[in-house]
Chains A and B, each alone.
Chain A
Amino acid sequence: GDSVTQMEGPVTLSEEAFLTINCTYTATGYPSLFWYVQYPGEGLQLLLKATKADDKGSNKGFEATYRKETTSFHLEKGSVQVSDSAVYFCALTSARGGSYIPTFGRGTSLIVHP
């Protein structure tokens, strides 16, 4: 079945450091890939997405590129801020018998210190 594996946290960085959160997946066919962010006390919200191979999703300085050859969708940001502290989820949807029900990774907590 489908699965998403992302690096365990917490990831602890100083402000202005470079961020990478690794995400790899297993899926049938050609999944769509997503990164969601969850701030404390809130639900998840979409950060960025990519729907086909070599697409790059970007938003708020975050980027991720759909790499079919390595089945990866790593999240990057060049300079993190304290306000980026949150939990980040990698997810995919694929045609599991036509259902397109999302599969989520386990989440990676990011803590950014001033």
Chain B
Amino acid sequence: EADIYQTPRYLVIGTGKKITLECSQTMGHDKMYWYQQDPGMELHLIHYSYGVNSTEKGDLSSESTVSRIRTEHFPLTLESARPSHTSQYLCASSEGKYGTSGTNEQFFGPGTRLTVL
């Protein structure tokens, strides 16, 4: 069973607030990812990491930032939330270091549904 956790599951917050979405995995995976999922269900990759101290921007431009200080932890931060940030955020992880096999599947957390008023 996959062990990847996201907190909070739901968050309603006012414009201008700083927020951090937490993501942790206990599988020792090197690769971790953040996706934004729109109401039409399409997934947009916003950040990813190959391992500790590695962070990369994804295909969708995002005002969020991420850090990877520990293998198991990959938090996403919004310095100043806006209504346009309202969305579902999914965290995922997978085995394998940079340049290694792409045959490994991703394991997803349950998601954080963010609403910015």
Contact = CB atoms under 8 A, between A and B. Distances in A.
Nearest to B4: A43
Contacts of B105: 34, 46, 49
Interface residues of A, number: 27
Interface residues of B, number: 27
Contacts of B41: 38, 87, 106-107, 109
A93 B105 CA distance: 9
Given A101-B45, A107-B42, A43 B90 contact: yes
Interface in A52-71: none
A42 B100 contact: no
A44 B100 contact: no
A45 B105 CA distance: 9
B2 A32 contact: no
B28 to A, nearest CB: 18
B27 to A, nearest CB: 14
A78 B92 CA distance: 30
5 contacts: A45-B107, A93-B103, A94-B102, A95-B102, A107-B41
